[in-house]
Amino acid sequence: MRFFERCEAYFTDLQDRIIASLEALDGGRFLHDDWQRPPLPAASSVADHDGPVLGGGGRTRVLEGGRIFEKAGVNFSSVRGYFSREFAATMPGDGRYFEASGVSLVLHPRNPHVPTVHMNVRRLSRGDTGWFGGGADLTPYYLDEGSARDFHAAYKAACAAHPKVGDYAAMKQTCDEYFFLPHRGEARGIGGIFFDHLSDAPEDTFAFVRAVGDAFVPSYVPIVERFQDAPVTEAEREWQLIRRGRYVEFNLVHDRGTTFGLKTGGRTESILMSLPNAVAWRYDHQPEAGSREAELVEVLRNPREW
């Protein structure tokens, strides 16, 4: 089995395990949408074509209107094809042919005391160059320091178990810098870890990536269980919708995964599954001084070490 195929096998198993855990937690069932692109044309027929040409397929899994999750998406994709000439100039490696596979998830809970979460792990290759990317980050609406510490501890442990690859301090800093809205002057959430273009020692790196993927359920499900039944006021729901607006802003303006998917001719429904169903923008909204909402914003503007 090729190395890339071993990565694919892990990603599909990870998707299945995460969905099983979330369905057991929520009680709802994910919609299964398997998709497949037509076979790729011969390379010779692509040579004079400037735009992207894609093959491969994926398994989109979406839960809407659940008991706990207002919207949840856990997607697997394995695509191959040819970058556009313009986009190829921005990517590592040689030639236009590429392969990309991975799992990406975003979960938007109903209760504003349960944080939104994102996680992805992926493998890309182009020519003789291959690399891994991924990470996980937490986006609370109300800050719970214990949950923040527990979430970070899970990924700190994954890094510590693979010291040749996993550098928690560096990956935490990269996460804080990446998931940042410069036009707002604040982070999207309280971070986690983020890494990209890990190309050295592929076997060691693959083991680290598996540790990151396997850490997701134990890092997040206990937080959900802790707060899923917390009482909610109308004001707290309104704050959740406003903060979701920041999430949308980041994903549409700054997120590399969204850009990669759209610029390579990716499947729009799968790419944009990360967006919440309900969201709000309020003109120049400012939280009341000394409130829990203001406490959260302070942390988003001044990231902490957890």
d(CA 76, CA 101): 7
d(CA 68, CA 71): 9
d(CA 169, CA 179): 16
d(CA 63, CA 227): 20
Closest CA to 68 of 30, 31, 110, 114: 110
In the block, tokens 């992926």 appear at 122
Phi, psi of 26 (to 5 degrees): -85, -35
> What b/e readout covers 252-264, taking b as 16+ CB neighbours within 10 angstroms?
eebbebbebbeeb
Active site residue 118: yes
**Is the separation of the CB atoms in 115 and 141 below 8 Å?**
yes
End-to-end CA distance of the chain: 40
From the list 108, 118, 152, 162, the catalytic residue is 118
Residues with a known catalytic role: 118
